Amino acid sequence: MSSSRSLSLRFLAEPTDVNFGGKVHGGAVMKWIDLAGYACAAGWSGRYCVTAYVGGIRFVSPVHVGNLVEVEARVIYTGRSSMHIDINVLACDPATPEDRRQTTHCILIMVAMDKSGHSVKIPEWVPETEEDITLKETALTLMDMRKQISDEMNVLFKGRSG
């Protein structure tokens, strides 16, 4: 089992990431989230992982071209083959790294896979601190909420074709 349940990716936002409004495109931020989530999940599970769900994505403030971006990812719950990953995106001017600000937050669910594309059992993450226990409880609450949303979406889309 991996001893590391978290990681951070750091890089500069590039001009190719800009949208029509002159700020970094939300799609670029979502790509960074997926990359950090994958690296965190693969590191924890020791397996290739796929994204099963991205939820609650909240764009709090824009990322500007040239900003130093940090994408923090940490495991907050494990199932049999899935990992709930808490993602926090921070940005700042590279000249003033102490002025980091949150730009985006979400939860990612990654699933560990074998070479045949089947889900596989992963090491369990066991909360050790009060904060960890709270994070796990939050993940469980969000699981219940996703089930309710899924049920509502099924009613909404029932009978629609392709």
Matching residue, tokens 């799609």: 27
Q: Is the pLDDT of residue 2 over 50?
A: no
Q: Is the pLDDT of residue 84 over 60?
A: yes
**Which domain range does residue 26 map to?**
6-157
Q: Is the pLDDT of residue 148 over 70?
A: yes
Residue 15 covered by a domain:
yes
Torsion sign, CA atoms 102, 40, 53, 131: negative
Identify the pLDDT of residue 1.
39
| Residue 135 near residue 72 (C-beta atoms within 8 A) | no
Per-residue pLDDT tens digits for 35-47: 999 999 999 999 9
Rounded to 5 degrees, φ, ψ at 11 are -170, 170
Identify the pLDDT of residue 3.
55
* CATH number of the domain that residue 32 is part of: 3.10.129.10
Q: Is the pLDDT of residue 106 over 50?
A: yes
Q: How confident is the model at residue 102 (pLDDT cuts 50, 70, 90)?
A: very high
Q: How many residues does the chain have?
A: 162
CA distance 37 to 74: 8
| pLDDT cut 90: percent of the chain above it | 81
CA distance 142 to 77: 11
Q: How many distinct structural domains can be found in the chain?
A: 1
Tell me what the mean pLDDT of segment 130-154 comes to.
Answer: 91
Residue 162 covered by a domain:
no
